[in-house]
Structure 1
């Protein structure tokens, strides 16, 4: 089976959820999935769900337990760069059918690793591996590399009315 590059981007909600839904479908078909979450190091409800599917889905976070709001710290940069290198080795190992780089677009925006680093990663993708990259601010060069692009557009969001992230829905 030929693998493609999918990108889920935009300011709307649902980029990670779409990638996780794809992982769920792939696991149901017996495929092996590796999910790398950049920028994230906190506990999210999806981590609990994925533990149940650990025979087919592995998730590792390459971030600290806080959200980057301004300039990243050296530790953020180190974790992301080491993570990208580790995931490249994992992707080329032949053990996984799908690799998801969750929040990789925003990692390039915060310069945790460069767009060139991410493009080099894309070029290492074996022909039979499906690669999914998520988050807002996808660089035009990543868009040019992609085979499928979905842009999530925020039309209306209850965050605008002060609703905080709800456990099981947004966190």
Structure 2
């Protein structure tokens, strides 16, 4: 199965659910017989979603290009190099013909933190083959990315509970 037209979707905003929405889309795509590629630009490690997705490894490929640390200031050369590998992997996945859905998880945050310029995301959006769905997640989506996308969903924090500065949520992070 292939898309006649693959769209570019952006999930952004300060509310929770951006990654969850993208993973839900990946799950639905896999269930429909499509192949999905996910590049995680910030995370590194064996998170619960990685464990769950490993059960669908014949349909969903996940690679992590984050170094597992929060970028508070200027990214290190190692952080930038890892992000560049992620961008190369995204381009390869988009053009390989092997995947119908490609997800840049936390791509907006990576650009916002300076791991790569937002122009890299815009170039990927322009170069995306017409029959591949591209999903870009993360808060702080640049206005140009929003303008260029076909579908944009903004997650809004309406009611989030915090305990000791940590957002309470269903499930466990790791």
User: TM-score category by the smaller chain?
Assistant: over 0.9
Q: How many residues align?
A: 171
Query: Unmatched 5+ residue regions in structure 1?
Result: none
2:39–2:89 contact (8 Å) kept in structure 1: no
For each residue in 1:30-87, what CA deviation from the matched residue of structure 2 results, as whole angstroms up to 9, or x when unmatched? 0000000001113210000000000100000011022223322111111001210122
Distance in 1 between residues matched to 2:47 and 2:71, nearest whole Å: 16
Q: Which of 33, 40, 45 in structure 2 is aligned with 1:42?
A: 45
Please tell me whether residue 106 in structure 1 is matched to residue 109 in structure 2. Answer: yes
Q: Map residues 143-158 of structure 1 onto 2, 5 A cutoff.
A: 143-158=146-161
Deviation at 1:117, TM superposition (A): 1.0
Deviation at 1:160, TM superposition (A): 5.5
Counterpart residue number, 1:23 = 26
For each residue in 1:110-163, what CA deviation from the matched residue of structure 2 results, as whole angstroms up to 9, or x when unmatched? 111111111111111100000000000000000011100000000121226645
Counterpart residue number, 1:5 = 8
TM-score normalised to the size of structure 2?
0.92
TM-score normalised to the size of structure 1?
0.94
Counterpart residue number, 1:85 = 88
Query: Unmatched 5+ residue regions in structure 2?
Result: none
Distance in 1 between residues matched to 2:138 and 2:108, nearest whole Å: 5
